[in-house]
């Protein structure tokens, strides 16, 4: 059955076609070498001597790990595993302790659009209607009619960067300023992108002391804020509104690679790329991941099901219950020893003579060709004396004494031993021993 299942699975298996990279469903993982992936960014940092790691644990590990703690944490969207409220809180707590969070996405997770300053951050998503027909590997179509973004002011992140080239699908990071009152109530604010005023609420509830500095725009172009830095506690959060700048398809354009390096440069600290929210991590089944896309998983599950059915069927009764056959655990010698011990303890010497003499008489009459039921003991004694040369009177007395005990004549252990010894000697002279019979 297992062989049949393997054959059927192999015959019906059709390899799943790998879906090409698309900006509608990008794979921003550092393990992806496609156009939307970031493997080139990761390899660039690694080969230039930076300490990088592909983080595959929940953000809570940032607060509990004692060694190899990252100094920069990079989240590149779109995410395949969304942030939970607990994960968002843990990540922001790590940032408020002095970490640097780099969020690269057109629509960052709402929980991460936070600052401890008196401002409210927001993200405006681009129109992705044409993303389905644009190949992310085609740089000309990805950047068509899109001007390069220039540095707004000289900062550590704009160092050695003349301009960066975003894609036509770049987003924008905006922020609203609170009013003068600092009582935490809703106040009017002004959007730095549009100049419109709206009602906003503070976003620094998780930080005890609000930051005094404001968000900073480092790069802007085409009416969009491309790179915004916002304070959060003792740390900083950087928002880059276009993942194409650091993707495999766009990192080689103009100074995109230099900007990518500037974003994560933090001295000798470790740069961690969030792969946990890209679908990797300890919660996944590594065995199933290794054989993903092959018929091995289906064959394994079917074999387990088949084995379970076999065990289930073998454990059920389909007819009346049959009692288990009792094995004879005693050998013949053990039986004889037990009977001898029983007869000795009960002093049943007559029973012992009856068993031994009856067997002797049966074998002797058969030996001489006589009828066991009609032959007389005197005739048997005469034949024994003639054949063995023994004294006739002694043999006749032995047989007569045995028959008298069988009939009920009282006896004792000494007499029984003497008679049994005499019978064994006669058997030996006639060649009627068991060893001799076995040889014949």
Range among 4-8, 175-179, 206-210, 391-395 with highest mean pLDDT value? 391-395
Is pLDDT at 87 greater than 70 in this prediction?
yes
pLDDT range class, residue 108, cuts 50, 70, 90: very high
C-alpha distances out from residue 209 to 91, 170, 205, 206, 230, Å: 18, 33, 9, 9, 15
Q: pLDDT higher for 14 or 301?
A: 301
Q: Give 127-186 as a DSSP string.
A: --TTGGGS-TT-HHHHTTT-PPEEESS--TTSTT-SEE---TT--EEEEEE--S--SSS-
Reference 161, options 169, 153, 170; nearest CA is 153
pLDDT range class, residue 39, cuts 50, 70, 90: very high
Specify the DSSP element, H or E, that contains 216. strand 216-221
Cis bond leading into 54, ω under 30°?
no
For 33, which DSSP code?
A: -
Q: pLDDT higher for 308 or 7?
A: 308
Q: CA angle, corner 344, sides to 339 and 350, nearest 5?
A: 90
Q: How far apart are CA 266 and CA 240, in angstroms?
A: 17
Is pLDDT at 88 greater than 90 in this prediction?
yes
pLDDT of amino acid 272: 94
Reference 356, options 426, 293, 263, 309; nearest CA is 426
pLDDT of amino acid 200: 36
Tell me whether residue 315 is exposed, middle or buried, using C-beta atoms within 10 angstroms of its C-beta: 0 to 12, 13 to 18, 19 or more: exposed
Please report the sign of the dihedral spanned by the C-alpha atoms of residue 411, residue 412, residue 417, residue 418: negative
Is pLDDT at 76 greater than 60 in this prediction?
yes
Q: pLDDT higher for 325 or 387?
A: 387
Q: How many CB atoms lie within 10 A of CB 293?
A: 11
pLDDT range class, residue 94, cuts 50, 70, 90: very high
Asked if residues 125 and 107 have their Cβ atoms less than 8 Å apart, the reply is: yes
Is pLDDT at 180 greater than 50 in this prediction?
no
Q: Give 53-104 as a DSSP string.
A: EEE-S-TTHHHH--SS-EEEEEEESSPSSPPPHHHHHHHHHHHHTT-EEEEE
The distance in angstroms from the start CA to the end CA of the chain is 55
The 3-state DSSP class for residue 228 equals: strand
Reference 173, options 145, 138, 208, 149; nearest CA is 149
What is the per-residue pLDDT across 135-162, written as a single tens digit (0 to 9) for each?
Answer: 999 999 999 989 999 999 999 999 999 9
Specify the DSSP element, H or E, that contains 335. helix 332-346
Name 70's bridge partners.
270
What is the per-residue pLDDT across 386-398, written as a single tens digit (0 to 9) for each?
Answer: 998 889 999 999 9
Q: How many CB atoms lie within 10 A of CB 142?
A: 24
For 191, which DSSP code?
A: B
pLDDT of amino acid 434: 60
What is the per-residue pLDDT across 277-319, written as a single tens digit (0 to 9) for each?
Answer: 998 876 555 555 566 666 677 777 788 888 888 888 777 766 7
Reference 237, options 207, 267, 208; nearest CA is 207
Please report the sign of the dihedral spanned by the C-alpha atoms of residue 72, residue 159, residue 230, residue 247: negative
Q: How far apart are CA 62 and CA 95, in angstroms?
A: 10
Q: How far apart are CA 382 and CA 42, in angstroms?
A: 115
Whose tokens are 């003579």? That residue is: 353
pLDDT of amino acid 411: 86
pLDDT of amino acid 287: 58
pLDDT of amino acid 431: 86
Q: How many CB atoms lie within 10 A of CB 281?
A: 14
What is the per-residue pLDDT across 195-242, written as a single tens digit (0 to 9) for each?
Answer: 444 333 344 445 556 667 889 999 998 889 999 999 999 999 999 999
Tell me what percent of the residues of the chain surpass a pLDDT of 90.
40
Which domains can be identified in the chain, with CATH numbers? Answer: 2-14+21-126+140-284 (3.40.50.880), 332-439 (no CATH)
Asked if residues 145 and 236 have their Cβ atoms less than 8 Å apart, the reply is: no
What is the per-residue pLDDT across 374-425, written as a single tens digit (0 to 9) for each?
Answer: 888 889 999 999 998 889 999 999 999 998 988 888 888 889 889 989 998 9
For 380, which DSSP code?
A: H
């Amino acid at each position: 059955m297992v062989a049949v299942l393997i054959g059927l699975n192999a015959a019906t298996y059709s390899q799943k076609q790998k879906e090409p990279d698309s900006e509608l469903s990008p794979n921003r993982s550092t393990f992806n070498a496609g156009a939307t992936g970031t493997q080139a960014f990761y390899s660039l940092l690694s080969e230039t001597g930076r300490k990088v790691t592909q983080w595959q644990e929940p953000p809570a590990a940032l607060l509990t790990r004692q060694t190899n703690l990252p100094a920069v944490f990079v989240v590149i969207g779109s995410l395949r595993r969304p942030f939970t409220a607990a994960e968002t809180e843990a990540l922001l707590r790590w940032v408020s302790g002095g970490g640097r969070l780099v969020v690269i996405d057109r629509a960052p997770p709402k929980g991460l659009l936070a600052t401890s300053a008196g401002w409210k951050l927001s993200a405006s998503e681009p129109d992705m209607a044409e993303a389905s027909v644009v190949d992310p590997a085609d740089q000309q179509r990805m950047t068509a009619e899109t001007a390069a973004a220039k540095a707004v002011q000289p900062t550590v992140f704009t160092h050695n960067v003349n301009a960066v080239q975003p894609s036509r699908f770049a987003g924008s990071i905006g922020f609203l300023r609170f009013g003068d009152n600092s009582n935490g109530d809703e106040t009017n604010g002004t959007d730095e992108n549009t100049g419109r005023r709206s009602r906003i609420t503070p976003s620094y509830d998780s930080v005890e002391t609000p930051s005094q500095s404001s968000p900073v725009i480092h790069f802007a172009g085409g009416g969009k804020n491309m790179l915004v830095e916002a304070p959060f506690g003792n740390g900083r959060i950087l928002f880059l509104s276009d993942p194409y700048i650091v993707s495999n398809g766009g990192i080689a354009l103009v100074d995109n690679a230099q900007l990518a390096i500037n974003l994560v440069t933090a001295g000798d600290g470790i740069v961690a790329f969030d792969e946990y929210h890209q679908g990797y991590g300890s919660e996944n089944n590594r065995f199933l991941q290794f054989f993903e896309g092959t018929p091995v998983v289906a064959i394994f599950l079917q074999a387990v099901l088949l084995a379970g059915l076999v065990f289930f069927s073998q454990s059920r009764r389909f007819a009346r219950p049959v009692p288990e056959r009792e094995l004879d655990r005693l050998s013949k010698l053990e039986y004889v020893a037990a009977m001898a011990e029983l007869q000795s303890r009960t002093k049943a010497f007559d029973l012992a003579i009856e068993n031994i003499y009856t067997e002797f008489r049966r074998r002797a009459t058969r030996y001489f060709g006589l009828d066991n039921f009609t032959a007389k003991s005197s005739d048997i004694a005469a034949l024994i004396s003639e054949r063995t040369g023994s004294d006739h009177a002694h043999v006749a007395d032995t047989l007569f004494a045995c028959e008298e005990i069988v009939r009920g004549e009282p006896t004792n252990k000494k007499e029984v031993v003497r008679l049994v010894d005499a019978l064994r000697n006669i058997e030996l002279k006639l060649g009627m021993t068991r060893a001799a019979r076995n040889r014949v």
